Amino acid sequence: MSLFSPEEEENVFNFLKKRNCCIRCCLRYIGVRTPESYNDPELSVKNVEIFLGYLQPDSGCEYIFKQHCVLCLGILQNETQKSILEKIENILDSANYDSKTFTCALTIPISIHLRERSMLIALSKELNLSSISLNSLEYKLYNVKQIWKWSFATALENATKKLMQTASPLLIEIIFSYLHEKEEYSQLFNYYNQTMKRIDGKYCQKRNANSETISRKSMETLMTKITNEQFENSFDVPPKQSEKCVDLQDILCTHNSIFIGGRYNKFSRSLSQTPWFVNGERKMESSVQDLLCAPIVKALKAQSIKFLSSGREDVDVRNIYDGRPFAIELLNPKVSNITDELLANLVTIINQTTSLVKITSHLKVLDRTDLQRLKEGENAKTKFYRALCIYRDPLKDPSVLDNLNKLKEIEIIQKTPIRVLHRRPLTPRIRIIHEIRSRWMEPKEIKSLFHDKDAVCIPNYFILDVKVQAGTYVKEFVHGDFGRTKPSVCDLLNAEVDIVALDVTGIALEWP
């Protein structure tokens, strides 16, 4: 319930009007909370039934619309708004977002907050308001951002041809600046630094107003510390009329990220998962990320992407059968109306474009729960591998592999492999080998694999299928990495064993 009578509210209104405040600022200072009142404010305040006829036809108030408002610095005035609407319309037309809705955010100069407080102090002195009345007035005061949205929502919707909502994936951010802002807030900071030794027990840092920009957070902190008396000693009360209004510094349009996921096969042993650079030089012509993402980025007109997957295979490791779960984060996409037909067409395009990678599942638009599941799958799930190995010692007993097939739930300790030690810390990890299946290769298999007639004379190749805990270094489990993995297949067979090729054959994750 308001502590002010209608007559007192009229006094506040007239006080502000005489000091070159626009009508919208006059209305928000008396606590008007009906959005309709701000659409056509000059007509609203002539309504005697609602506002006691604050503005009469002969009130001589035409100057209000010809000068910059001393409080909002023009943000809530129609002329400023017209130029903004034109620029927003041009930006959105060129960006061509297909979102049917948008939300709007404003960044306003710090000076506006200072001027609002200055005017509140001036009101309290001029009208002899008690502290309770002043607090009530301050409580009822709507901020510039909210009034801006109320005043120009319809015009903004018409300009963008989209519906303005509180929550929308498309954000239009309007950033205002003010030429004299640093000049106004610097005198306040300098005064406070000179007169107050400490803030919350810490020495207040002196700032050079000519070389350092004061952050919005610093200003908010200061405004809670400084008293009205101190404020009045360092800032004009009431605020002075400015010759300049706010400037439109920038308009930024961004759409929330869209995540799309599926599974992929990788059939090449010379293809990295993501672009591979060494000393700024690209080592390989393409990557799994490039081949999968390029058609999707083109279709959804994304600004950039981030590639996510449940683990990663080495350059020389294939990924076959069901494939590896992956997700693509599309940053600032222009197309957000994603149909099943569009996703199916993308699968076809990707699979027809390259033979190096294939999508093995349907594509799906993902939510945050899906992404969390993908992340957990990196270390919490089991994975299946098939390795082509060679038994380098003289083979005396072919049944030696039978001993491997009997083993289950083997606990191994792996130090960080030498091959990745340059990019990962030296840390021992405990991993579980859940199951092992091994068999010797048939001569015809060896011949087919190597396309070498002499290869049939080499009987020491064998296939090793393992089911392991995610995060296991399988290559090192085979050859031991100079004793850094214990036990290894070398230890279990008591022989020198090496790995020739490796495939990922399965990742136990419900996906997509």
Q: Which residue has the tokens 């607090």?
A: 135
The separation between the first and the last C-alpha atoms of the chain, rounded to the nearest angstrom, is 55
- Buried b / exposed e along 134-164 (16+ C-beta atoms within 10 A): bebbeebbbebbebbbbbbbebbeebbebeb
The DSSP H or E segment spanning 430 is strand 429-440
User: Please, are residues 446 and 461 in contact by the beta-carbon 8 Å criterion?
Assistant: yes
Is pLDDT above 80 for 61? no
What residue ranges do the domains of the chain occupy? 69-253, 257-379, 381-507
Distance CA 84, CA 69 (A): 17
State which amino acid sits at residue 216.
Answer: R
Question: How much is the average pLDDT of 449-472?
Answer: 80
Question: How much is the average pLDDT of 222-248?
Answer: 89
Most confidently modeled range among 136-145, 301-310, 454-463: 301-310
Q: In sequence order, which residues have a C-beta less than 8 Å from that of residue 265 and are 6 or more positions away? A: 318, 319, 320, 321, 323, 324, 357, 358, 359, 360
Q: Which residue has the tokens 């005035």?
A: 77
DSSP letters along 439-493, please? Answer: EEPPHHHHHHHH--GGGGG---EEEEEEEEETT--HHHHHH-TTTTEES-HHHHH
- For residue 512, the 8-state DSSP code is -
State which amino acid sits at residue 236.
Answer: D
Distance CA 451, CA 79 (A): 79
Is pLDDT above 50 for 327? yes
| Cα 404 versus chain centre, distance | 48
Question: How much is the average pLDDT of 501-508?
Answer: 96
Q: Based on the number of CB atoms within 10 Å of its own CB, is 97 exposed (0-12), middle (13-18) or buried (19 or more)?
A: buried
Query: Is there a common fold for 257-379 and 381-507?
Result: yes
CATH T-level topology, domain 381-507: Alpha-Beta Plaits (3.30.70)
Q: What is the pLDDT of residue 51?
A: 59
Give residue 362's pLDDT band: very low, low, confident or very high (50, 70, 90): very high
Give residue 210's pLDDT band: very low, low, confident or very high (50, 70, 90): very low
Most confidently modeled range among 207-211, 241-245, 319-323: 319-323
Kindly indicate whether the domain formed by 257-379 is annotated with CATH number 3.30.360.10: no
pLDDT single digits (tens) 28-50: 998 888 888 898 888 777 765 56
Share the mean pLDDT of the chain.
88
Q: Residue 130: how many CB atoms within 10 A of its CB?
A: 10
- Name which of 32-36, 235-239, 463-467 the model is least confident about: 32-36
Q: Going by DSSP bridges, is the β-strand pair 163-164/101-107 parallel, antiparallel, or unpaired?
A: parallel
Q: In sequence order, which residues have a C-beta less than 8 Å from that of residue 305 and are 6 or more positions away? A: 289, 293, 296, 297, 328, 329, 330, 331
Alpha helices in 284-328 (DSSP H): 288-300
Distance CA 329, CA 308 (A): 8
Q: What is the pLDDT of residue 117?
A: 94
Q: What is the pLDDT of residue 148?
A: 94
pLDDT single digits (tens) 127-146: 888 778 778 888 888 899 99
Across the strands, what pairs with 464? Answer: 387, 438
- Name which of 52-66, 361-375, 379-393, 461-475 the model is least confident about: 52-66
The closest alpha carbon to 431, from 470, 376, 484, 384, belongs to: 470
Alpha helices in 308-433 (DSSP H): 340-353, 368-380, 400-405
Across the strands, what pairs with 317? Answer: 502
HSE, side-chain direction, 13 A CA sphere, residue 353: 16
Q: Which residue has the tokens 């129609």?
A: 78
Is pLDDT above 50 for 219? yes
Is pLDDT above 50 for 75? yes
Q: What is the pLDDT of residue 33?
A: 85
Distance CA 170, CA 167 (A): 9
Is pLDDT above 60 for 1? no
Is pLDDT above 60 for 389? yes
Distance CA 3, CA 353 (A): 72
Q: What is the pLDDT of residue 298?
A: 97
Q: Verify cis geometry, omega within 30 degrees of 0, for the bond prior to 41.
A: no
- Greater confidence (91 vs 468) lies with 468
- Name which of 12-16, 61-65, 444-448 the model is least confident about: 61-65
Q: Count the helix, strand and coil residues of the chain and give each as a percent rounded to the nearest 5.
A: 40, 25, 35
Is pLDDT above 60 for 453? no
- Buried b / exposed e along 439-459 (16+ C-beta atoms within 10 A): ebbeeeebeeeeeeeebeeee
Distance CA 449, CA 472 (A): 27
Work out the percent of the chain whose per-residue pLDDT is above 70: 90
